[in-house]
Structures are given as structure tokens and as C-alpha cells.
Structure 1
Amino acid sequence: MIKKINIKDFAIIDEINIDLNPGLTVITGETGSGKSIILEAIASLVNGKFSKSAIKHGASRCVVDLEFDKRSYRKIYNKTGRSKSYIDEVPMTQNDFLKSFESKIEFHGQNDQQIILKTENQIDFLDYFCGNQKDIAKIKIIFDNLEKCRKDLIDLRQNIALHKEKKELLEFQLNEIQMADIKEDEEEKLYSDYKKLNNQEDLIKKLNNVKQSLNDYENGVVSSLTNLSTELNQAMKYDNSVEDLSEIISSMIMQLQEIEIDIEARLSTDDFDISRLPNIEDRINLFEQLKRKYGGSIESIFENEKQIRYELNKISNYAKSDSELKKQITKLERKYTEIAFKLSENRRSNADTLSSMIEKSLAVLNMNHAKFDVRLSNNETDTSFIKNNGIPVKPYAKGIDQVEFYLSANPGEPLKPMSKVASGGEMSRIMLAIKTVFQDKNPVSTLIFDEIDTGISGETAQKVSKHLKKLSKYKQVICITHLPQIAISADNHLHVTKSVINSNSTYVKAEYLIGDFSRSVIKNLFVGEEVGT
């Protein structure tokens, strides 16, 4: 429970310190006295909502301190819009600070009535009653993943359609390169052969001239060197030192003879087969054509081939991804269906119980003839992966059910959607009835009501008072009230006053009232109302 609250420079409050007690605490005060500001300060800690305009005029910051059980919580808000959070004087992130209040304090105000009036939110109340929170968390994740996979599949198929023409072009280009069957260093050999064949006559003539110059019997180079070698061999009779010269000449003769053999071999091969020239020219033309198309060199053709293969592989992977996504979608649909039917069964088995409990609670709150019904339905559709009793139904993030609260507040009136028929006073009691029904399931130890008594009076106010009192046996209940019936029944009566000092300063004071003084203040505040006992 909340034990203490200290508020400094918040709205019109300079500084206020309040010790809070167990049971039912009512806060009273004239309109504009600052009683709602106290709850706003507490709410700023619990829900993190704060406007820098709430900092008191002339102050640079405001501070809210709260002691809950044995822990202290502090929030410092600056004019810059930034804030600092502390738990037991230890700095905390905003997220961790807010998480620390989970299952501790719960607020109820006019906004909560608007929340429950919205049909799309009513399923949350039924799920809370059923204890469906874990399955809801699971099915939401599955639903989100299912939606994402479906979107991915649509995008993928659009890509496949867009890449169809591109794939055809890439396949044509790859086939064109593959059919060319280009070998490494082939281009160099082609140009070499082309040059030979294109100048064949002159080349053969020159090779024959060399051959003839080498082996002419009388004037050939080999013949001349042979004669020189003979002369040197004879000279060796007189000077052994010329042997080296003889060996050099002999080596030259052998090399020239090898050249002659090589020329003979060249002249006898098909390197000079002129019939090859058209094929070589065609091949060269093909290479030049491909080079113009794919980057200007043989290397660039090879690089293009790699890139084309990569792109085609990517496109072919679309088909694989399509198959994988369909498998994933089927798997998610199966999981979704399993949890959706589990949730639906649990909701339907608890809907009547919740309806009955809220009706009983409303009767205690002077709505004796009220009928309350929690109704479930499915949205039928033409096609869906999930069917209920053989009928395709639309899936949602929380399952297949649509939940709506129906209310008949008066005898003879048919049940109608609560959002269309509930008055302000009825909504206050419906909300209180729901809080009462859920109190065993609700782990929070402090309930705070801002004007729970809106639109009620007389006997109804008396019954709401007793209901709050009963609720306060299990929880710490704090509420602002405008009704004497509620104020007089409280365990603690906190009265807020506002005074003006020197015409330019506002002072807000909160003090507990007891006994006759409390009754006197209540009587003065609620002139004309029946106080009761």
C-alpha cells in the first residue's frame, strides 16, 4: 500500500506531505482546491504521463516522492521536459521505473469508463477474468508473424512477376556466353593463328629462305660452319687451346640443325592450312561481338557470366523462399488455430459466469433489475484458414472471437450493447462492479478512484459507499468523492483546502479530519445532501 506521498512544485501545490493509511480513504474539497492534482501526481509516477506545464509557475522543476510498502519512489521533472527516476535513491531507467509499479497501483477515472465502453476493449476484460493473458501474448506473436509472412509472400510473388522478363533475358545471355565456350588464352591464339594464315604465303617463303640458307650444300650456314669446324680441328694439332673454339662452332651447328628441323616441322603441320581461316575469322568476330556486349574484354565476359549466374540464382531462390514461406504460414496457421480455439472455449465457458457475477455486483449497487450479458460472436468471411463449425471466420490478434457487453438497466428493457445505453451513473457502478468481481484476480494492493460517484445520489450513493467499504477490506482504496454517503463511511477523511496568500501566492493544504469536525465539513460541503449514518 501507499504509505506516504510528498509533492513539491506540482501545478498549484508548493509542497504537501501526506501519510496514507489502509482501508478506505476519501479525499474531499471544494472545486479547484487541488484534490485531483494529488491523484495526478501519483498517476505521473505510475503511468509515466507528465506535461512540463504541470511544473508550478516560477519553479524550475517539480518532485514527487512516494513510499510504497518499504520502498521509496522518486520522480524529478524538469522544465526541459526531461525527468529522472529513482527507487530507494538508486537511479533507474524510465522503463524499469514504470515496470516496478506493475501489480501495485491501479487507477480508475473517466478515461477508464471510455475504455470499457469501446467494444474492441471488452474482450480484454473477459480475457482477464478467464486468466487468458499467457495465451493472448502467444497468439498475438503468432498473428503478427503470420501477417508478416503473408506480406512477405505477396512482396515475393510481386518480385517474381517483376523478374520474369529479367530472368528470360539473363537466361538468354548466359546461354549466349556458354555457347561461345570461350577458353582461357584462346583469344591470343586465335589472333596469332589469324596473323599466320592471313600472311601465309610470305611467312612460308621466309621460313623456306631460312631453311635454304641453313642447309645449302655450298653456301649454307651449316655447311660453312662445318668447314670452319674442320679447319679448327686441324689447327688443334698445333695448338690445343683452339679446342674451345671448335666446341663453340660444333654447338652452333647443332642449334642451327635444330632450327632447321623445327622449320621443317612447322611447314608440315596444319598451322598453314588455309581452310581454317574462315572458322578463325568467325570465332574472332564472335569474341568481338561478345566483348562489345559484355564489357570490352574476355575477362569482363567471364565476370558478366558470374554476375548473371548470381542473379539467376537469386531469382531461383525466390521460388525456394515462396515454398518456405508457404510452409511457415501453414505452421503458424496450425499454431494459431490451436490457441484460438482454446481461447474461444475458455471465453465461452466463463462468459455466463462473468455475466452473473457482474449482475449480482450491480444489484448490490442499486441496479437490482439490471441484466448484463457477455456475448461472443465470430466474423464470418468467404475464405479463411480457420473455420468454426465448418464456417470460415476472420482471425484477429486476440483470436477469432468478438466480445461485446450487453446491458439492460431497467425492467422490460431489452438487452442492448452497453456502449449505446449506459448512462454516466450506470457506468460508474458497472466499473465498480467489474473491479469488485476482479478483485480476487487482481494482484494490485491499491485502488485509486477519481470521481467514481459521478451521476449517482441517494440510496444508490449509499450502496456504492458500502461497496467501496467492502472493497477496502481487501485493498487500500483511495477516492475523490462529492457524496456525503461515501465520505461519512470512510476510514480516513483527507480534506484538501486552497488559500490565497498576499493576493499572489496559492497555498494547498491536506489534513485528516475526524469525528464531529469531519461530519461538520462534510455537512458544509454537501449542503442539501442526506448524510446518513
Structure 2
Amino acid sequence: MLFHLAIRDIALIEHLEIDFAPGLNVLTGETGAGKSIIIDAVNLAIGGRAERELIRNGQTKASVDAAFEVDERHIADLMKASGIELEDSTVILSRQIAMNGRNLCRINGQMVPLSLLRAVGERLLDIHGQHEHQYLMDAGRHIGFLDAQGDDAFRAQLAKVAELYASWRAAVQKLKKLRENQAERARRLDILSFQISEIEEAALSSGEEEELSRQRLLLQNSERISSALNEAYHFIYASSDMPALTAVQEAMDAFDTIAAMDDAFEAMKTRISEVYYQLEDISLELRPMRESMELDPQELDGVEERLELIRKLERKYGRNIDEVLAFLADAREQYEGLIHLDEDLETLGAECDRREKELYAASLALSKAREKLARRLEKAVLKQLQELDMGKSRFEVRDRRPGGPEEASNAYTASGFDEIEFYISTNPGEPLKPIAKVASGGELSRLMLAIKTVAAEVDEVETLIFDEVDTGISGTTGQKVALKMSEIAAYRQVISVTHLPQIAAMADEHLSVQKTSDDVKSSVCVASLDEDGKIREVARLAGGLLNEAGLRHGRELILNAKALKAQKT
């Protein structure tokens, strides 16, 4: 359950901390007092949409922390996958939003992605807004309401259908692409054949372009290189005056006469000897190097032509030889695929048929399970409607199911092929009609509450928030709605934002939301009411003056609520 909420700089709230209790928590206050802001903050904490408009005027960021006491089994898989440890069965969901768009999410102080915050939040708390009953007007959502009543076995069937549907759709898309390829196969084969031949005939090799560029540089500068090599060879080995090799030889001979006299002379002789032998090696290498640098214009032309061919292929197929070769490999693969396209079409067509048969069988089994679920939901909802002053209503879950495999082909979704829609008749003698064509606002609110009450009996979410879902309800009907919320609160924590005195009278914890203003700013505060405060607030909601008669009426509503709760227990 949600036991603590801390809000900072959200809308009118500068800093607010609220403690919630087990059972039925009721928030009341004048219109505009800030009740909806508190619900917005809770929604933000569980991963709801973040809008900059929520940030308090004049501030750059806002934050909310929601602390839950949890049954670890409900979120163990998510916590384990993210490496977050639970302490004393407590989970704290934190969210910070900023004007610069930065969005920080934490669970128990650890940074997490928004998707994880939302996944955990969905398992801990469910918000039913004052406009959510409008979802009942959308028949496309009805299958979700029905499926929510299923047990683990049903959810396993649902997951199996979703998996088979994804597999079948992937095969169908692949088959569609192959058929599109078949239509232009001849053209593609011609293009690929030309591209493959053009690249293969070039016989490219990785690193070839760099080597050719090096050769071209040498050939283009062969005269300069030849001249430099000849000069070097001349000065080292063939100078008419005295080649460097001869001069070093004479220096070595000079030191040979004195080397024995001192270690320094011996060391110098050794160093001169090393220079001599290095020069000798250089002179031996220079000779063939000179001969190899004789200019061959045809060789340079050949290198230029080869480089131009490579650049032509690179302009068409890649930025370098490696990319051109990668293009060649891909073209060969496509070519082979098109050559064997007919075989692949036959094989994949058979695979699609097989997967669709599996999908149909699983969807049919799911549909039959839904049929049982629908009959159970009908009975449960009718029971709840009877307790919500709609006892003469009729409620039916209808399923437009395909007549066979052929019809099902165009009806599959990840949820199977069923098309579920809720029908209702709220008055005796009136035929059943789709909800959107029959129910009034108050009736929709009660129907949604009935469905949520049934869902709460199987749902693992421990906290339900009802945000002014009593719109359009009053009188004895309001009393029955209040009792229904109290019944849910017997096994789930319920937080209700309400204007109905009957619901407020049922509260186990009554929180009063008030807005204070001065010439500079407005702020929101929340106070937990004692018994006298509850009486005064219920009397205010009942429309009575806070005089003796009005307070007596408030006290009677609370006493009556206690008596009704006692009867239920």
C-alpha cells in the first residue's frame, strides 16, 4: 500500500507530505483546492506523463516520492532483473522533472529507466480517473476489461497466442517481401549479375589501393629518386676524390696503430669499424636499388589505369575496396536468394500455413476460455450493479468470433480473433444495446465501479485510487457507491477523491485538502481530520450549514456509515 507521499514544487504545492492509512482514505476539499494536483503527483511517481506545466511557477524542477509497503512477490521479478534490493518490504518510487526536459527516475534511490519505474508502478497502484468511465464507450477496450479477470492459466493462454501471432506475422511479412521480390526478380537478377561481374573482373584485394598509390608516387618521382640514389652511391663508394667508404677505412687503419695503447682508442676503433661495415652494406643495397628505379612509362600508365578502375568501382559500390568487396558478398547472397526464390516461396508459404493453423487453434482455445470468463464476468457485474442501485439492469458480454480459419485470417491480433463488446439494458423491457448508446454518465460511473470491484478481487494491485468517479451520482445511489468502496477497502487500500458526503462518511482516514493564498502566492496543505473534523467536513459536503442541525446531520451520516460497515463484517 501507499503509506507516504512527498511532493515538492508541483503546481501550487511548494512542499507537502501526506501519510496514508490502510482501508479507505478519502480526500475532500473545495473545488480548486488542489486534490487533482495530488493525484497528478502520484501519477507522476508511478511513471505517468511528465509535463513542464506541472512545475511550480518560478521553479526549475519538481519532484515526488511515493513510499509503498509491498508484498515482495508482486515485484520480485522486476527487482531481481534490475538488481534493486528491497529493505523491510518498502519500495520508494521517485521522479524528478525539470524545465530543461531532464527526467530522473529512481527506485529505492537507484537510478532506473522510466520504463522500469512505470512497470513497477503499474503493479503497485491503479488510478481510476473521473473520465475513465469514458473508456467503456470505446468497444475496442472491452476485451482488455474482460481479459483482466483471467487467472494465471488464462494469462498463459493469452501469452501463447501473442507469441504465435508475432511469429505468424513475421512469416507473413517475409512472404510478402519475397513475393514483391518475385515481381521484379528478372530485373534484379540482371542488375546483380552485372554488378557481380564488374567487381569480380576487377579481382580486387584488400590493401591494393594503398600499395598502388605508393607505387605511383615512386614512379612519378623516379628521376628524382634515381638521381638521389646515384649521388649517394657515388659519395659512399665511387667518388673520384675519395669515397666515404675509403675515408672511413683509412680512419680505421689510423686507429689500428694506437688501439692497444688505451681502452678509449680501442673503443673508438670499434665504433669506426661499425660505421665502415654499415656503409659497406648500404653501398651493396644501393646498387640494385639504382637499377630498379629506371623509369618505365608503361608501368606508370598501368598503375594509373588500375587506380582509376578502383575509384570507378568505389564511386558505385563503396568508399574503399573493403566496402566494395562487402557489396560484392551481399550481391552474391541476393543473387543466390533470387535464383532459389521459387523454392523459398513454397517453403515459406507452407511455414505460414503451419503457423496460422497453430495460431487458429490457440486462438480458438483462448476464445472458449474467454466465453467462460465472459459468463463469469456477467454474473459478477450484475451482482455488483444490484448493490449499486442498478438491480434491474441486464449486462452481456458479446463476442463476434470468425466463422472459421478463412474468416479468421483478417481478424487476428495479439489477443486472438475475438471482438468483444459489452451490451447493457438499464431499464426493464429495453433491449440490450452497446454501452455507448445506452448508459448515462452516472450509470457509466457505477458500471465502471462494478467492473473494477470485480477486478479487484483477482487483481494483485494493492492500492486503488478513485479520482471523482462519483460524478453524476447522489442520494441513495451515492450511499451504495460509498458502501461498495468500503467493501473494496476491506482487502485493498482505497484512496478516493470525492464530493459525496456518503463516501466521506465511510472513510477510515479522512484527509482535508485546503488552498491558502496571500498577495504573493498560493499553496496547498493537507490535514488528517479527527472525529470532530470529520463531522464538520461531512456536514459541509452534505450542503448543510455548520450549525447544530448541519453538524447533527454530518454525525448521523458517519454513524450510519459505521453501522453499514459493521453489518458487512
TM-score normalized by the length of structure 2: 0.65
> Hey, what's the Cα distance between the residues in 2 that align with 1:432 and 1:97?
27
C-alpha displacement of 1:406: 0.5
For structure 2, which runs of at least 5 residues remain unmatched after alignment? 70-89, 197-312, 314-324, 545-549, 561-569
Partner-residue secondary structure (3-state), 2:484: helix
> Hey, what's the Cα distance between the residues in 2 that align with 1:169 and 1:406?
59
Partner-residue secondary structure (3-state), 1:9: strand
Partner-residue secondary structure (3-state), 1:404: strand
Partners of 1:139 and 1:399 within 8 A in 2: yes
CA displacement 1:344-365 (0-9 Å, x = unmatched): 1101122222101100100001
Partners of 2:52 and 2:97 within 8 A in 1: yes
Q: Which residue of 2 aligns with 1:313?
A: 336
CA displacement 1:98-147 (0-9 Å, x = unmatched): 22223210110134222232111111122222333332233223223323
Residue 92 (str. 1) matches residue 121 (str. 2): no
Residue 367 (str. 1) matches residue 387 (str. 2): no
Residue 446 of structure 2: which of 424, 429, 450 is its match?
A: 429
Q: Which residue of 2 aligns with 1:219?
A: none
> Hey, what's the Cα distance between the residues in 2 that align with 1:307 and 1:9?
57
> Hey, what's the Cα distance between the residues in 1 that align with 2:191 and 2:498?
78
* Count of matched residue positions in the alignment of Structure 1 and Structure 2: 398
Query: Mean alpha-carbon deviation: is it higher for 519-528 or for 412-421?
Result: 519-528
> Hey, what's the Cα distance between the residues in 1 that align with 2:522 and 2:190?
81
Closer/same/farther in 2, CA of residues 29 and 147 from structure 1, 3 Å limit: same
> Hey, what's the Cα distance between the residues in 2 that align with 1:32 and 1:517?
20
> Hey, what's the Cα distance between the residues in 1 that align with 2:373 and 2:109?
45
Partners of 1:103 and 1:444 within 8 A in 2: yes
Q: Which residue of 1 aligns with 2:521?
A: 505
Partners of 2:130 and 2:466 within 8 A in 1: no
> Hey, what's the Cα distance between the residues in 2 that align with 1:420 and 1:67?
42
Partner-residue secondary structure (3-state), 2:543: coil
Q: Which residue of 2 aligns with 1:82?
A: 102
Q: Which is greater in Rg?
A: 1
> Hey, what's the Cα distance between the residues in 2 that align with 1:148 and 1:67?
42
> Hey, what's the Cα distance between the residues in 1 that align with 2:332 and 2:30?
81
For structure 1, which runs of at least 5 residues remain unmatched after alignment? 175-294, 296-302
CA displacement 1:136-168 (0-9 Å, x = unmatched): 233223223323322322221222121235658
Alignment of 1:54-453 (within 5 A): 54-69=54-69, 70-131=90-151, 132-164=154-186, 313-379=336-402, 385-386=405-406, 394-453=411-470
Q: Compute the RMSD of aligned alpha carbons.
A: 2.8
Partners of 2:131 and 2:469 within 8 A in 1: no
> Hey, what's the Cα distance between the residues in 2 that align with 1:10 and 1:472?
28
Residue 484 of structure 1: which of 501, 510, 515 is its match?
A: 501
C-alpha displacement of 1:320: 2.8
Residue 536 of structure 2: which of 520, 529, 533 is its match?
A: 520
Query: Mean alpha-carbon deviation: is it higher for 439-448 or for 139-148?
Result: 139-148
Q: Which residue of 1 aligns with 2:480?
A: 463
Closer/same/farther in 2, CA of residues 87 and 171 from structure 1, 3 Å limit: closer
C-alpha displacement of 1:169: 9.8
Partners of 1:30 and 1:525 within 8 A in 2: no
Partner-residue secondary structure (3-state), 1:26: strand
Counterpart residue identity of residue 483, structure 1: L
Partners of 2:47 and 2:114 within 8 A in 1: no
Partner-residue secondary structure (3-state), 1:102: helix
Partners of 1:337 and 1:386 within 8 A in 2: no
Partners of 1:379 and 1:402 within 8 A in 2: no
Closer/same/farther in 2, CA of residues 165 and 483 from structure 1, 3 Å limit: closer
Closer/same/farther in 2, CA of residues 6 and 316 from structure 1, 3 Å limit: same
Query: Mean alpha-carbon deviation: is it higher for 162-171 or for 84-93?
Result: 162-171
> Hey, what's the Cα distance between the residues in 2 that align with 1:141 and 1:168?
39
> Hey, what's the Cα distance between the residues in 2 that align with 1:105 and 1:168?
61
Partners of 1:104 and 1:444 within 8 A in 2: yes
Partners of 2:500 and 2:541 within 8 A in 1: no
C-alpha displacement of 1:517: 2.2
> Hey, what's the Cα distance between the residues in 2 that align with 1:311 and 1:398?
36
Closer/same/farther in 2, CA of residues 374 and 168 from structure 1, 3 Å limit: same
